[in-house]
């Protein structure tokens, strides 16, 4: 089912025909300015930005049982609200390999905490002559850091 910019893969694919696509993906559990800057930079690389969003089950497998903090429907709606994001597709797998293989973007973008050579999807993207780009790391902006700060903060009135 598709609602606005939050769209199923089946509904997305016809929208991409003939367009230069940039793809990025992630959990986007606690949004911060680093996420926004990465998405804005990614969108500037091509005509259309498709964001692959890890489902709640996928986030739990990747990050542990206490995550996600924000559910996939809310995360998808928040991300779709950014002007730089054209489409959001939720996926169940731990990696975006299935989405990437179906979408075949010209550019795959990851945040600055990755190195292209360490990404398992890099060889797949290169197989259709796509490019893998990594954005500049925004120092001090991290979901893991925010989560740790929240857990350390005393909660008054409990």
CATH number of the domain encompassing residue 59: 3.40.50.620
Task: Quick: pLDDT tens for 95-127.
Answer: 999 999 999 999 999 987 778 788 889 999 999
Among residues 152, 143, 157, which one has the least CA distance to residue 28? 143
Q: Using CA atoms, how far apart are residues 109 and 39, in angstroms rounded to an integer?
A: 9
Domain that holds residue 45: 9-152
Residue 73 domain flag? yes
Task: Quick: pLDDT tens for 31-85.
Answer: 888 899 999 999 999 999 999 999 999 999 999 898 898 999 999 999 999 999 9
- Asked if residues 32 and 142 have their Cβ atoms less than 8 Å apart, the reply is yes
Residue 75 domain flag? yes
Residue 133 domain flag? yes
Residue 121 domain flag? yes
Residue 51 domain flag? yes
Q: How many domains does the chain have?
A: 1
Name 94's Cβ contacts closer than 8 Å, sequence gap at least 6. Answer: 54, 58, 61, 62
More confident residue, 152 or 12: 12
Structure tokens, 146: 């925010």
Residue 145 domain flag? yes
pTM: 0.86
- Asked if residues 135 and 41 have their Cβ atoms less than 8 Å apart, the reply is yes
Residue 13 domain flag? yes
- Asked if residues 3 and 78 have their Cβ atoms less than 8 Å apart, the reply is no
Q: Using CA atoms, how far apart are residues 128 and 130, in angstroms rounded to an integer?
A: 6
Residue 53: cis peptide before it, omega within 30 degrees of 0: no
Residue 22 domain flag? yes
């Amino acid at each position: 089912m598709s609602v606005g910019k939050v769209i199923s893969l089946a509904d997305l694919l016809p929208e991409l025909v003939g367009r230069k696509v940039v793809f990025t993906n992630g959990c986007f559990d606690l949004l911060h300015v680093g996420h926004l800057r990465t998405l804005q930079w990614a969108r500037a690389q091509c005509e259309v930005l498709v964001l692959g969003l890890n489902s709640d089950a996928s986030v739990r497998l990747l990050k542990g049982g206490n995550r996600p903090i924000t559910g996939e429907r809310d995360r998808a709606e928040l991300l779709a609200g950014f002007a730089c994001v054209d489409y959001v597709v939720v996926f169940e797998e731990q990696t975006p390999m299935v989405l990437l293989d179906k979408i075949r973007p010209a550019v795959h973008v990851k945040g600055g905490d990755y190195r292209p050579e360490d990404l398992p999807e890099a060889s797949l993207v290169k197989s259709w002559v796509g490019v893998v780009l990594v954005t500049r790391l925004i120092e001090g902006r991290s979901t893991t850091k925010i989560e740790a700060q929240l857990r350390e903060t005393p909660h008054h009135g409990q």
